Every structure is written in C-alpha cells, then in structure tokens.
Amino acid sequence: MYSKINYTMVGVFVLLFTLLALAFGFWLAKYGFEEKYDYYYLYYNEPVDGLTLDSSVKLKGVDVGKVTAIEIDPNNIERIRVTIRLKEGTPIVKGMYALLKLQGITGLSYVQIEGGKRGAPRLKASAGKIPVIPTRESLIHQLSQKAPELLEKLQSASDALEKIFSEHNQRQITHILDNTAAATAKATQVEDRLLALGDDFNRTLRHFDRKAAELTDSVQGVTRTLNEKLPKLLDNVDQAGQNVAQLARGIDRRLKRGDYDLRKMIRPIQIDIHELSYSYQELSEDLKALSRHPSSILFGAGHPPKGPGE
C-alpha cells in the first residue's frame, strides 16, 4: 500500500537547497548590504593616547566614520599614521583639519574634523593613493607642552605672593591703610570747611550785589540831580563872572583917567577883583567838566588819554 521512498533523492535535494540558500545569503550579504567607504590618512606628531581601533570620527560633531588602523609612519618614525574610513560621499574639502578630543571622562579619544568653507573643492589624492587630512595639535597636548612653563610661572607667582604677604609687608600695608583712613578723615573735614566757606562766600556775594545795586541807584540819583541843577548854576556863574569882569574893566578905565583920587588905595582892590575874576573862570570850567562827567564826583576825574607816542 505504501510506495517505496527514495531517501537518496531526498538527501540530494535538501543538500542542494541548503547550498543554494547559503550562496544566496553570501551574495546578499556581500553585494546587497555592503556599504562603501572613503579612506583617509591622518599624521600626528603627538601621542594618540586614548585613541583605539573603531574610535569615532566626527565631522563637526556628527559621526561619519571609524578609525581602522593606528601605526607608526613607515616613512617617519617620529609621527603616527592613523587610517580612518568615512561613509562614501562625506564632504571632506580643502581647509578642513583633524584633531584629537577627549570623550567625556573615560579617557578615550576620538577624531574631530573641523574647518572648511562652503564651495571649497573636495580633498583628493593622486590616482592609487589615499588622501591626507591635515592635523592640528590637540588642546591636551598644547597644555602638556606648556605645563612646565606654566608651573614655573605659578611658582614665581607663589614666591611673589609670599613676599608680598610677609609679616613686614603686612605691617607696612596696615600702616598705609591707617594713614589712608586718617587722610580720608582729614579730607572730609577740609571738604566740610570748604562747603562752609562757600556758603559764606555766597552770602557775601549776595550782600555785595545788594550794596552795588544801592550804590548804582545813588549814583544815578546824583547824576539826575546834577543834570537838572548844573545848567542853571553854570548860567548864574557865567553871568556873575561877566559882571565881575565888566566891573573890573570899568574901574580900571576910571583909574586910568584919574577919576578917583584914591587910586593907590584902590589898586590892591583891583588886584583882588582880577583874582576873583580868574577864580570865577576856573569855577566855571570845573562846573562844565562836572556837567560832562557827573560820575567824577564819586570816582574821580580819571586819567586823560595819552597822546601819540606817549
């Protein structure tokens, strides 16, 4: 009732199916999912502590690849050659540079690529060669190089501070501070005195302004009075002078004609009359000058203007 099963044919079929499945998987893994990469060299003249295989490579903070090899440069034993692979098409252009950075507090490092400008040409190498990305010293290496100099400066600064804050200098500083406080107190006293003196000076100025205003009013009143009275007084003085001069001339004529017998007795009176005439003339001149410059009665006649060449 049951047909005879050919186990040999079944075994061959299973074996062929398995081989075909393995071949298809190998092909799919190799050609269907294989990513393509661009490779670059980095040359460092500093230690690459903390950098390991498969360390991250970042372009301005974005993961773009891994470190694939770390070795001594076969052409120069003083530097280290690091090989990195980046995803195909990663925009590496001229002007970019690579440097090492610490990854947190783990002590591990990664490669950071920075720089470059939009529109710059792609970084390429001649046929058959791997392009080289320029490198720069890391901040840690720079600090380690300058650490001895920095420590020396810190030691010098420490010595200087120790000298500054020595017991002797502390006493000197305390003395200076005490003197400064005393000087500040004296300056405050002087300032108070100056303020008080300024108040007194302002009061004096106000009093002087009031007196000057009163004096100006007085001078103006005297000037108005003189302007009103002097013309009449000058007219009277001129008339009196003319009368005296006329009287003197009449007496002189009569004396010359011999009208009076007492000529010798009247001669001294004639002289007095002449002197009186001169006095009236001088008085007239003074009053005229006073009429022209009334303020001279208070401030003096002043000095006459100098002539040419004086």
Domain ranges of the chain: 37-140, 228-299
Q: Among 95, 99, 109, which residue's Cα sits nearest to residue 138?
A: 99
Model confidence pLDDT, tens digit, residues 77-133: 999 999 999 998 889 999 999 999 888 777 788 999 999 888 899 988 887 889 999
**Chain-centroid distance, C-alpha 74:** 58
Low-confidence ranges of the chain (pLDDT < 50): 1-2, 298
pLDDT tens-place string over residues 41-73: 999 998 888 899 999 999 988 999 999 999 999
> CB–CB of 113/42 below 8 Å?
no
Six token digits for residue 62: 């974005």
Residue 2 confidence (pLDDT): 45
CB 244 within 8 A of CB 277: yes
Question: What is the predicted pLDDT for the residue at 310?
Answer: 55
* 42, 82 contact by CB (below 8 A): yes
Predicted pLDDT of residue 40: 94
Cα separations in angstroms, 304 against 136, 192, 300, 301:
93, 49, 12, 8
Give the per-residue pLDDT at 113. Answer: 93
What's the pLDDT at 288?
A: 66
Closest to 47 in 3D by CA, of 133, 142, 131: 142
Residue 248 makes CB contacts below 8 A (sequence gap 6+) with: 270, 273, 274, 277
What would the DSSP string read from start to end of 76-139?
Answer: -TTSEEEEEEEETT---BTTEEEEEEE-TTSS-EEEEEEE--TTPPBP--STTS--B--B---H
